Chains A and B, each alone.
Chain A
């Protein structure tokens, strides 16, 4: 494994009009590691992820990336979306081929589509339309599409939160092994602390708006060795919850003021 991509967030702040959303954020997503962002609703997690992937220009500060990208990488910074963002007029295979079809030969494209469909258990659904799939299957297409471009960094914004609890548990395990196998640098935004302790090498706790880094917790146990009922992880989950509980309660009450 060569040296992967390192993302360095340096003094990032962001304002929407007069609304200060992020303030003085400095973080480093280490090569091949998973950085999880948690924090109360509206604290700017999606905003920060948008800035990290170049989809939003920060009001202050900058994000730098440095390191090697996979040799056949077609899109270094690649998102997986909460709402899946599949094209309804393309089949599963068509969605996965979205970027490949313009950049690879026909046979290389077909081979890579087949490979990631197999990896995500979608082989039998290659010709299905998105509307025919359950939410869990749609998000598998989302992750297959992302893996197909051989990203150097995966950016996931609450990829499981539109799914029911059982599907979420199933996909969480699949994500864990896919991410471990791919070895890409990963930034994962979630509300769900169980997801955070299952996936994170670094768990970044943001304060309520304006979001600031409140704490960064390192979890050194390899992802492959983490078990759902692990007492250490459950204790960590409790600790994280105590950190954000008060902020979350206040943020919940602020929602009405923020939305008008």
Chain B
């Protein structure tokens, strides 16, 4: 007869990674410090990859001279307008597709056909249609934001629990009250996670559109710095873009916390 004898060994640990803010900060600081050390020691050729200190100096100079704001303000404007237009229309069509059979198949057919087109490829066409000015850039952004928003919203509406809608009907709520009080709030988490996707798409398209045809804007600034082999300014522009990305995702995080506190 096999026998066991002894204390029970604990075997329920692990698989529970925890967040450590200090480790995150230390990693970023460490990488920048290593980079700076490598550049100072001459291991990293600063002509190709400038040292963090040089980038910081360039950023400071750009800020003081007003050059940074001149470009950034134009980019922010384009980002805001393009994203908002794409989002508003996208949520509208997404709701329509999610709610009404008449629009469902036609809407989804168009979205499925147009969604996979790389939007950057459309920039030259939009320039022909809407001119080299603001129009083509805004349309590129709005177009890129529109489709993922439609898909996220329609998916959110599809996943609204049927039981809740029936509950609303059984309490005599009107069609619009059901949309306002049940469908929209239930679809909101899906719509907000769509924002995460569309905001990063918007930044990519912004830079691309500004590189193809713009005098101002962070994309144009980065491109012209590159043409001049001005790597300090080039990387300063990239740092600004990455900070912009972080900022946008922070704002969305706040929005989620404010609107989805019930979860």
Contact = CB atoms under 8 A, between A and B. Distances in A.
Given A87-B182, A129-B262, A55 B169 contact: yes
B14 interface: no
Contacts of A131: 262-263
Give the contact-size bracket for chain A: 20 to 34
Contact of B170 (A53, A87, A90): A53
The secondary-structure label for the interface of chain A is loop
Contact of A55 (B170, B185, B188, B260): B170
Contacts of A55: 166, 169-170
A88 B164 CA distance: 10
Contacts of A85: 163-164, 166-167
B173 interface: yes
B116 interface: no
B51 to A, nearest CB: 50
A75 B171 contact: yes
B29 interface: no
Interface string B169-193: 1111100010001100110100000
A88 B167 contact: no
B92 to A, nearest CB: 22
B185 A89 contact: yes
Contact of B164 (A53, A74, A87, A99): A87
B162 to A, nearest CB: 10
A89 B262 contact: yes
Interface stretch (A29-37, A76-84, A183-191): A76-84
Most A-side CB within 10 Å, residue of B169, B262, B263: B262
A102 interface: yes
A75 B172 contact: yes
Given A55-B166, A131-B262, A78 B181 contact: no
A102 B173 CA distance: 9
Interface in B220-263: 260, 262-263
Contact of A149 (B166, B167, B171): B171
9 contacts: A55-B166, A55-B169, A75-B170, A78-B171, A79-B167, A79-B170, A89-B188, A98-B181, A145-B171
Interface of A: 53, 55, 74-75, 77-79, 81, 83, 85, 87-90, 98-99, 102, 129, 131, 145, 149
